[in-house]
Structure 1
Amino acid sequence: MRRLLFPRRGGRTCPEATNRRKSRAMSRRRRPWRRPNPRSSASPEPPPGAGGADDGVDHISGMPDAVLGDIISLLPIREGARTQTLASRWRHLWRSAPLNLDYYDLPAEGDLLIRLISQILSAHAGSGRRLCIPAHHLYHHPDTVYAWFRSAGLSNLQELEFCCASYPPALPAATASTFNLSSSLRLATFSQCCFPDGISETLHFPQLKQLTLECVSISEGSLYSFVSACPVLESMLISSCIGFSCIRICSPNLRTIGVRAGYQDKVKISIEDAPSLERLLQLNLIVGLDISIISAPNLETMGCHCYDDNSGFSFKGFPTLFPMVVHTVKTLSISVRPLSVDMVIDLMSCFPCLEKLYIQIRSLQGKNLWRRKHQSHIRCLDIRLKKVVLASYGGTKSQINFAMLFVLNAKMLELLRFEGPCCWGKEFIERQRRLLQLGKRASRGARFVFSQNTCLRKLQDIKHVRDLSVADPFEC
């Protein structure tokens, strides 16, 4: 019986079983198709307002106008204007949203750009958030620019940027009309402008937190007044400016200063009273700064400072006059020509709490034989370095002797990174590890990394005051 009902594969089939299968197939063909009932599905219905993928409800348009306006203000101006075509709900939002007007986003140049900006400002009824225009418009179209500042579209402007364009610097004179929005500004960039001495008495920026002066002509007294007129200033970038030989800093809230001196100028910076200052950055590897620090009790980061055999460092007051400042510095970046162990030992004496040291090697000269000359002195030093980066490392005998100073004496070292101009082969790295005597390292947990010049940040990349706010200014 079992063999008749369940025949083996390849055997003969029972006639009754064959007839039953045929009848089931015919019944399925004749059965009419019915639409499935969604309520009989095994999966439960989503609760009301769950927002499924295909519910077709526009949840964004249900937000308040103020929230949608803030979203639109973060978009480029062309994209923000296009939101008027999304739906009738969005038609009025762009005209009343905070204005983000950047000439880079506009498809126009010259006089056509001037007319287009005027049309946008006349049609816009909301307050201003950001205005970015070429600085040369102050020189060629001063009346038009001053009319823009008086328009309702720029009321309560928060960010104002006069950018360097491709035109030669015209150095237009800024007047009091340029700053009729100064009470609301939080970020200001002035490029290719000339500040007359008389205007410094009228300046007042009660809410300005970020300031950039680039290719600006300003006297020493006006610069001091400019900074003093910003009581809540936190970040300042001074790049390639002329008209002064000294930068005097007296600011209660200033936290970061970046200075890029011109290639022909020797600039002195005097930190007279900066209780909140945390970073002092020199952004030019060729021309150094003459630095004088009187009071900066919270200074933690300095660089990139130049060193050479003839003049050494341009620090004033180190190490004995201001020990409170020296003991706070934890991160330092230096540019060295030539590489010198004597220089590092002096730094360890000046900055005993230093934890990160970035060294840009600019010369292959020197021998750096330190064991006979400094062995007894090095034993007395408490080297607290945790991270050392040697940029433009070539693996020469002089550089190996220099690096061994950290390998054999830095007991708290966590990372020593060698950055070269090209990708090294396996044989080169193994030879370097052998010559550096890594097996005798003072810190057993230290890591030694060989890489290309991709990690150390280039100072020329710092072009905006916002670039000064990164966690580590010397890392990409």
Structure 2
Amino acid sequence: MAAVFEGMLEWFPRRCPPTAAGAHSIAATPAADGVDRISALPDDLLRDVVSRLPVRDGARTAALASRWRGLWRSAPLVLRDADLRLPPAELEPARAAAAVGRALADHPGPFRTVHLTHFSLASLERERDLAEWARLLAGKGVQDLALLNDSDPIRGRRLPADILRCASLCRLFLGSWTFPDTVGDEVFPHLKELRIFGTDMSDGYLDHMLASSPELEVLSLIVNIIPKRICLRGGSLQCTILWMSAAGELAVVDAPRLVRLVLWITAGTTEPMNIKIDRAPELRVLGYLEPRVHKLQIANVVINAETKASPSSIVPSVKILALKANFGVFKEVNMLPSFLRCFPNIDTLHIESAIDGEATGRHHAKFWRKAHPIQCLKSTVEKFFIHKFREDRSEFEFLKFIAKHAKKLQALVLVLTREKFASAEEADKITHELGAIGGSKWAADKCLVLLVGPKVKNVWSFRRASDLSVRDPFM
């Protein structure tokens, strides 16, 4: 579980490590002319400097000179348990808990950042220790809070109620907790980012947090037990990530600024998960949609294999779409055109070739020969990626359909599986097959075809998925 937590930590900005000599020794070193110019700086600037130091080094600045004595206590606290250089908590839990407790109690606040992500909260023997910490956090204006509990990844320790009373929070990361059973009166007027990992939520709690967070911009739900229905609404919400979490329905009810909706290994509990897009006029990035496990609904129109494109069944704002399908399963192949017709203005299309489901052994060549042209392929798709390409005949039949109809296509990128990419012989066979497709005239005048290998580290990047400065998170 520790390795999983380390992956979660990449969500937070990385702090530059202190120099080997230590920050306090730098401050104590006089200038060449013997004048201490650092101590002559204004108090507000010095407090900002001190608050950016590791918590131990910040506290030690009080010993430099009388000028520095009160600065640490009056500077906003930045406490990361990783900076405390604690002993392994499982070996000396009392000592580690005492160090964290002292840091929280001794500083009068406000708390700018508190990340308890390396300290083993599961090692706390007394619930009152954790309750006291939660009280201190709520009372001292914490803005950026991360709490990872390394017990059971789903049904962890119950989250102290005071944590949910921190009205000053701007960023909140919770890992492996159980939420209270009932919804309280918590309000998060300044919360901009909410990231929840491995946590159990009662029905209604997520709705309550969204309704109580008018400034929320980023919502990430990772490996959670979540309500049967997730309703996305909020005038500030820009990015939502749902990863390895099961729900009956995810409904974008009213999210006028939502730009990105990322789904990764999601499914309903027993029935297909309903993905409903009602009001999201700014939605630009969507995926991965999976015909095998998702039922797509646009407003009141449930998309099926017979659905024709109409103003009531399209999302014209989407520019980047990612799908996942098994080209050997006719039920999924049959749904691909219908899904694509819902997004007439795509410029970048990603499809992951899946092996989930029971393949029929057919290539579906007849289906693709008779399939009607699709608006986005005819008019807007410029880049097309097939991920995990494995040289299956059914994949090539789909490529023939693309070659025939994608008139604006500028780049076709086949991302091979690791096994295919490692074999020169396999790569040559794929190149030969592509040459055969190219023997007939492509719809696009010029199209660059690339064979590339998979990423060295095939790890999903949460930071990249939620970074809105990254145009395409599926690259």
Q: TM-score range by the shorter chain?
A: 0.7 to 0.9
Q: Is the 1:72–1:97 Cα contact (8 Å) retained in structure 2?
A: yes
**Which whole-Å CA distance do the structure 2 matches of 1:456 and 1:444 have between them?**
35
- 1:256 is aligned to 239
Q: Is the 1:247–1:270 Cα contact (8 Å) retained in structure 2?
A: yes
Cα 1:383–1:371 change in 2 (3 A) is farther
- 2:323 is aligned to 334
| Match runs of 1:34-433 below 5 Å | 63-78=41-56, 80=58, 93-106=71-84, 107-108=86-87, 109=89, 110-133=93-116, 136=121, 140-151=125-136, 155-165=140-150, 171-180=156-165, 182-198=166-182, 200-242=183-225, 244-262=227-245, 265-284=246-265, 289-308=273-292, 313-315=295-297, 317=301, 318=303, 323=312, 326-338=315-327, 342-363=334-355, 366-369=362-365, 373-374=369-370, 377=373, 382-420=378-416, 421=418, 422-423=421-422, 425=424, 427-428=428-429, 430-433=431-434
Partner SS state of residue 202, structure 1: coil
Q: Is the 1:299–1:325 Cα contact (8 Å) retained in structure 2?
A: no
- Which is greater in Rg? 1
TM superposition shift of 1:315: 3.9
TM superposition shift of 1:255: 1.1
Structure 1 gaps of 5+ residues are: 1-52
CA offsets 1:73-103 (integer angstroms, 9 cap, x no match): 4454456556667787666544433222122
Cα 1:245–1:113 change in 2 (3 A) is same
- 1:9 is aligned to none
Cα 1:282–1:375 change in 2 (3 A) is closer
Partner SS state of residue 399, structure 1: helix
Amino acid at match of 2:79: L
Q: What is the identity percentage for the equivalent residue pairs of Structure 1 and Structure 2? A: 24
TM superposition shift of 1:163: 1.2
TM superposition shift of 1:175: 4.7
**Which whole-Å CA distance do the structure 1 matches of 2:233 and 2:348 have between them?**
28
**Which whole-Å CA distance do the structure 2 matches of 1:261 and 1:315 have between them?**
21
Amino acid at match of 1:373: R
- 1:11 is aligned to none
Q: Is the 1:232–1:253 Cα contact (8 Å) retained in structure 2?
A: yes
**Which whole-Å CA distance do the structure 1 matches of 2:318 and 2:376 have between them?**
20
Q: Is the 1:189–1:212 Cα contact (8 Å) retained in structure 2?
A: yes
Q: Is the 1:237–1:465 Cα contact (8 Å) retained in structure 2?
A: no
TM superposition shift of 1:271: 1.8
Cα 1:209–1:322 change in 2 (3 A) is farther
- 1:451 is aligned to 452
**Which whole-Å CA distance do the structure 2 matches of 1:304 and 1:381 have between them?**
18
Q: Normalising by structure 2, what TM-score? A: 0.74
Q: Normalising by structure 1, what TM-score? A: 0.74
**Which whole-Å CA distance do the structure 1 matches of 2:156 and 2:52 have between them?**
31
Partner SS state of residue 307, structure 1: coil
Cα 1:418–1:424 change in 2 (3 A) is farther
**Which whole-Å CA distance do the structure 2 matches of 1:60 and 1:289 have between them?**
59
Cα 1:435–1:230 change in 2 (3 A) is same
**Which whole-Å CA distance do the structure 1 matches of 2:184 and 2:138 have between them?**
28
**Which whole-Å CA distance do the structure 1 matches of 2:50 and 2:423 have between them?**
49
Q: Does 1:440 align with 2:430?
A: no
Amino acid at match of 2:130: V
Cα 1:430–1:243 change in 2 (3 A) is closer
Partner SS state of residue 474, structure 1: coil
Number of matched pairs: 416
Cα 1:406–1:466 change in 2 (3 A) is closer
Partner SS state of residue 340, structure 2: helix
**Which whole-Å CA distance do the structure 1 matches of 2:137 and 2:208 have between them?**
29
Cα 1:271–1:139 change in 2 (3 A) is farther
Amino acid at match of 2:128: D
Amino acid at match of 2:225: I
Q: Is the 1:139–1:173 Cα contact (8 Å) retained in structure 2?
A: no
Pairwise CA RMSD? 3.7
Q: Is the 1:285–1:304 Cα contact (8 Å) retained in structure 2?
A: no
**Which whole-Å CA distance do the structure 1 matches of 2:344 and 2:43 have between them?**
56
Cα 1:367–1:122 change in 2 (3 A) is same
CA offsets 1:444-464 (integer angstroms, 9 cap, x no match): 3432221111299744x32x6
TM superposition shift of 1:331: 1.0
Amino acid at match of 1:471: V
TM superposition shift of 1:307: 2.4
Amino acid at match of 2:202: S
CA offsets 1:11-55 (integer angstroms, 9 cap, x no match): xxxxxxxxxxxxxxxxxxxxxxxxxxxxxxxxxxxxxxxxxx998
Q: Is the 2:178–2:199 Cα contact (8 Å) retained in structure 1?
A: yes
Amino acid at match of 2:177: C
Q: Is the 2:122–2:149 Cα contact (8 Å) retained in structure 1?
A: no
Partner SS state of residue 365, structure 2: coil
